[in-house]
Amino acid sequence: MRKSTTILNYFKSKTSSTISLCSNQPLNRNAVLTLLSSLRFASTTSQHPSTSNLIHHSHHNQVVDFPGGTVKFIPEMGFITESFLERTPCYHVLDDNGQTIPGSNFAQVGEEVAVKMYRDMVTLQTMDTILYEAQRQGRISFYVTTNGEEAINIASAAALAMDDIVFPQGDFHAALNFAAVLEAPVIFICRNNGWAISTPTSDQFRSDGIVVKGQAYGVRSIRVDGNDALAIYSAVQAARQMAITEERPILIETLTYRVGHHSTSDDSTKYRPANEIERWRLARDPVARFRKWIEINGWWNTNAESELRSSLRQQGGVVLGPSVLGQSSAFAEAVFPLRSVMVIETMANVGLLYFLFLVGVEMDITILKSVGKKAVAAAIAGMILPFMIGAAFSFILHRRYDNQMSQGTYILFLGVALSVTAFPVLARILAELKLINTELGRLALSAALINDVCAWILLAFAITLAENRTTSLASLWVLLSSAAFVAFCAYAVRPAASWIVKKTPEGESFSEFDISIILAGVMFSGFVTDAIGTHSVFGAFVFGLAIPNGPLGVTLVEKLEDFVSGLLLPLFFAISGLKTNIALVRGYCTWTILVLIIFLACIGKIVGTVIVAFFYQMPIREGVTFGLLMNTKGLVEMIVLNVGKDQKVFDDESFAIMIVITILMTAIIVPSITIIYKPSRRSTYYKRRTVQMSKPDGEFRILVCIHSPRNVPTMINFLEASNPTKKSPICVYVLHLVELSGRTSAMLIVHNSRKPDYPAINRTEAQSDHIINAFQIYEQHASFVSVQPLTAISPYSTMHEDICSLAEDKRVSLIIVPFHKQQTVDGGMEAANMGFRGINQNVLENAPCSVGILVDRNLSGSNRLASNKVSHHVAILFFGGPDDREALCYGWRMLEHPGISLTVMRFVPGKLVASGHTKKHSSIDMDEPRVLTVETDKDMQKHLDEKLIHDFRTSNANDDSVSYIEKVVNNGEDTVAAIRTIDGIHDLFIVGRGQGMISPLTAGITDWSECPEIGAIGDLLASSDFATTASVLVVQQYVEVESNREGMETTERTMQTNEEFISELRQH
């Protein structure tokens, strides 16, 4: 049944209202009138009640039937209070840091909807900023901002259906009464931003805002945080559902704050404190808050943010330029007069200069030495064919436009424009498609880097020829001067920058004078190369290459990144859009020629890469995808086109067409790759994927993930407790996780032994050095332990792919990842980085082996293990199920170390708990990421638990370092009390995650869980409220997935039984 909603927007000075009328059929004007006319007011008097039933006596009180319901008449005089004692609470889901509030209920929002909501909010914010700045510069006379109210506009619209209708006006009070009396399915959305021009709402009315007016008219109401997009989406979606199913009106008051002025003619700081505005603008910004939430979920990152902001500025430039609004001469003169365009273009060129400088700082051209033959062949093949196509068509275009440029120069410009690949944009596309860590992604990045370097060389050469059209001697002089400038940067600038690094003590920041000299050097380099005859961006780029990688480069990027990418560079895209005038394109001939050229160039790139793919025996589908990726366009092509236009290589008509096609090509690449390329995920078959399946007399492989040096001591101490022996040595793969930032490419680095006097070149490598050295020292002093250090550099959203791929390649049995919260000085727990939480959740869902999440509470502070001295007291909490069995098996392995004492506490259901209450899910939930393919019958699980417990107790009956306790509990409260009895005497708790388990023994604990990814008991022990001093290891046992999904191989189930595990352990 289709259900439609009609929305009536009512804008007044103090509030804005939205009225929604719902029906089971699509609504038009006549349908609305028919719906309303079919409803009639039914008075109680129409039923003609008998006189005997009209009045009911009750001592001194009377109850009288009255239209609308019975009324109680009393002799005491009393007035209704003018206001409620307490203000109506405001519903919200996200806190100021973008984290969901524990216990909050909200609608589930998928990645696609959430990302689209955020993009739309940023779009609205960007356009609002552009128009506000235009008014402040005197280009338009009046503008009313919506700054700070983006969530209300976008989230409410996102909760509606595509066929919903919006009307811009209505009478609020009359509509409320009308809807209440007729029981009309209507939604009222009222925006209360606290101000009516210069008057606060407290001076406008005495009641508690807008929400109480709904109760006065008999309308169900709710107050929602207007700066919380997730809360607004949830409330509107729920209200819409109630309006349709229950046929009742709903009132929603969105409580926000007007951070902007009432209009551009208003200065609100005259009647309200400026610090109050800033507090709301910074701490409760709806766009920033929602961005933090989608970043926590792994749906967004800094690269996507930069790309979105740049794209919006460019699109805004096209819309405001001569192609759309600029066609009106009045608009063009008012908004973008000639004098302002010159200022914007100057700032845009400065931004471009510093952006290319940052590209040079971040680019490591030494990587070209290690690039494989396949990447070199692909880069050359991907450039030659498009370049040849451009050269062939250049003769037609050169004659058609009667261009004064020489034929050779024209060929170079057109060839570079057609053959270039945008390396930064490609890296972001690969990250978005989660291909950046695949073989195809690494090959594409290497080829794009080679392509970029060649493009810059050819562009510099083309500019040289364009600037000196008369004599070849002048061109030769320019080339020699450019070579001299490159040599100066290599042999003078680079040593000077290295001297600045050496004279600055380690750990201290660089002086402002040094930074200022370098920034001035960027402008000077641009001036020199422009005076020589090449473009100024060439000088800035080479100057950036001369800055050595390391702390100086990191400092420069940190200081300039936001300012350049967020403010200056968007002006360059805006100027490009303002120069784009599609109206100049006349007839189909020009369109046909240029579209044909670009289409053939794209096909040429694809054909070239497919030939290379065929030669190196790559699948044809991967070759086509590779070609599409190499067609990625971006900043380099925009620079080529703008320089070409300035040099009169491209006229306005050609420039407009190529800009439009560039935008379209970049837009269609991602959908095309999604359709064409479906990578096959082939699981590596190996048997020992869990601790329980590992052989006691074989090598035990562990993958340890490290975020920072702070994690190192705890991990080393934990590995010591894992009992490496001669018969069962431990192979440790140490993976340092580094977030991908800026325009660097994702990579997995395998560290070999390096000379101690080789200095770290940047902060990330310095941290990796500390981590590697610590584990190498541990390897040297420990027995039967081998360590292989690695570093993974990738976005948080795809970092789990590095972890899982490495675990499968190395056939590890257990992955250990740090918990995203760290202990504070006062003993509490606080989130170090919410991105870590998303990594842990993704690893739990996709791991090819068992996973342990380690909650560190100063485990490294315990005494180091000695051969005959107990240094760690370990407790295992056993409720039952595969995860708890895995936890017990790991504790059993640790028990073999003489420095470990172990307590196993098993929780047994009491008399109040029916034997059938603790069970596994009997049906497979298609939304559950972890699908159990083993026998899920509760009797089988109970049998496996009993067998393992029996064998454990039998094997360790005479071991004084082992304690076994059974606790009879009936509910979650009993469970917590039992755990507290052993708290304070143990250094480490090992618990199963308990995923998929429904047990009355944990009833109530799950309801208050802040981190469900570590299970109810793990969350309890990791909570600051529990106040334990012990560390916690939460274990999830790997369970084989048998699926016939496309592109995945299925493997035979090879779960080791308890009997096999015990037999091998006894043999050991």
Q: pLDDT digit string (tens) for 439-472?
A: 787 788 888 888 877 877 777 777 777 665 555 6
Phi, psi (rounded to 5 degrees) for 883:
-65, -40
Q: What is the pLDDT of residue 764?
A: 63
Q: What is the pLDDT of residue 25?
A: 52
Higher pLDDT, 934 or 205: 205
Task: Work out whether the CA dihedral 908, 912, 915, 919 comes out positive or negative.
Answer: negative
DSSP letters for 793-838: EE-TTTHHHHHHHHHHHTT-SEEEEE-SEEE-TTS-EEES-HHHHH
pLDDT over threshold 90, residue 991: yes
> How many CB atoms lie under 10 A from the CB of residue 124?
18
pTM: 0.53
* Angstrom distance (rounded) from CA 352 to CA 346: 10
Q: Find the mean pLDDT for residues 175-180.
A: 86
Q: What is the pLDDT of residue 731?
A: 92
Please report, rounded to a whole number, the percentage of residues in the chain having pLDDT higher than 90: 10
Band (1044; pLDDT cuts 50, 70, 90) = very low
Band (1007; pLDDT cuts 50, 70, 90) = low
Band (1049; pLDDT cuts 50, 70, 90) = very low
Contact 303, 428 (CB under 8 A): yes
Q: What is the pLDDT of residue 960?
A: 84
Higher pLDDT, 717 or 365: 717
pLDDT over threshold 80, residue 814: yes
Nearest one of 554, 530, 551, 550 to 542, comparing CA atoms = 530
Band (928; pLDDT cuts 50, 70, 90) = very low
If you average pLDDT over each of 554-563, 799-808, 867-876, 1039-1048, which comes out highest? 799-808
Largest separation between any pair of C-alpha atoms in the chain: 118
- Taken as a whole, the chain contains a residue count of 1068
Q: What is the pLDDT of residue 640?
A: 76
* Pairing relationship of beta strands 69-73 and 61-66 according to DSSP bridges: antiparallel
Higher pLDDT, 40 or 888: 888
pLDDT in tens, 466-514: 665 555 666 678 778 888 998 999 899 999 998 998 888 866 788 889 9
Contact 620, 613 (CB under 8 A): yes
pLDDT in tens, 29-74: 555 555 454 443 333 333 444 444 544 555 556 776 666 667 777 7
If you average pLDDT over each of 400-404, 438-442, 872-876, which comes out highest? 872-876
Q: What is the pLDDT of residue 18?
A: 46
Q: What is the pLDDT of residue 750?
A: 67
Q: What is the pLDDT of residue 608?
A: 87
Higher pLDDT, 922 or 850: 850
What are the Cα distances from residue 621, in Å, to 665, 668, 677, 799? 19, 17, 6, 25
Q: What is the pLDDT of residue 11?
A: 31
Q: Find the mean pLDDT for residues 241-246.
A: 87
CB-based contacts of 985: which residues, under 8 Å, 6+ apart?
873
Q: Find the mean pLDDT for residues 816-838.
A: 82
Q: What is the pLDDT of residue 868?
A: 40
pLDDT over threshold 70, residue 363: yes
Name the residue with tokens 């780029």.
Answer: 541
Band (802; pLDDT cuts 50, 70, 90) = confident
> How many CB atoms lie under 10 A from the CB of residue 155?
28
Higher pLDDT, 281 or 354: 354
**Domains parsed from the chain with CATH numbers:** 4-39+86-296 (3.40.50.970), 44-73 (no CATH), 337-676 (1.20.1530.20), 700-1067 (3.40.50.620)
* Angstrom distance (rounded) from CA 854 to CA 1032: 6
Q: Find the mean pLDDT for residues 582-604.
A: 74
- Give the gyration radius of the chain's Cα atoms: 34
Helix (H) or strand (E) holding 641: helix 635-646
pLDDT in tens, 728-773: 899 999 999 988 754 445 566 666 544 444 444 455 666 777 888 8
* Angstrom distance (rounded) from CA 980 to CA 630: 60
Q: Find the mean pLDDT for residues 976-992.
A: 87
**Lowest-confidence range among 142-156, 343-357, 584-598, 605-619?**
584-598
Helix (H) or strand (E) holding 10: strand 4-11
Q: 860-890 in b/e burial notation, b at 16+ Cβ within 10 A?
A: bebeebeeeeebbbbbbbbbbbbbbbbbbbb
pLDDT over threshold 50, residue 614: yes
Name the residue with tokens 């997730």.
Answer: 230
Name the residue with tokens 């304690």.
Answer: 963
* Angstrom distance (rounded) from CA 448 to CA 432: 17
CA dihedral 932, 937, 943, 945 (to 10 degrees): 40
Band (638; pLDDT cuts 50, 70, 90) = confident
pLDDT over threshold 80, residue 1051: no
Higher pLDDT, 403 or 42: 403
Q: At what angle do helices 1015-1022 and 972-981 cross, to 10 degrees?
A: 50
pLDDT over threshold 60, residue 403: no
Nearest one of 996, 965, 962 to 882, comparing CA atoms = 996
Band (923; pLDDT cuts 50, 70, 90) = very low
CB-based contacts of 124: which residues, under 8 Å, 6+ apart?
146, 150, 153, 154
pLDDT over threshold 90, residue 815: yes
Higher pLDDT, 22 or 779: 779
Q: What is the pLDDT of residue 686?
A: 58
pLDDT in tens, 252-302: 988 887 776 665 556 666 667 666 666 666 667 888 889 989 988 888 877
Cα 197-201-205 angle, rounded to 5 deg: 125
pLDDT over threshold 70, residue 344: yes
* Angstrom distance (rounded) from CA 725 to CA 1040: 29
Half-sphere exposure of 1052 (CA within 13 A, CB side): 3
Task: Work out whether the CA dihedral 458, 462, 468, 471 comes out positive or negative.
Answer: positive
Q: What is the pLDDT of residue 418?
A: 79
- Tokens, residue 1043: 């699926």
For the chain, what is the mean pLDDT?
75
Helical residues (DSSP H) of 210-260, grouped into ranges: 211-216, 229-246
DSSP letters for 120-140: HHHHHHHHHHHHHHHHHTTSS
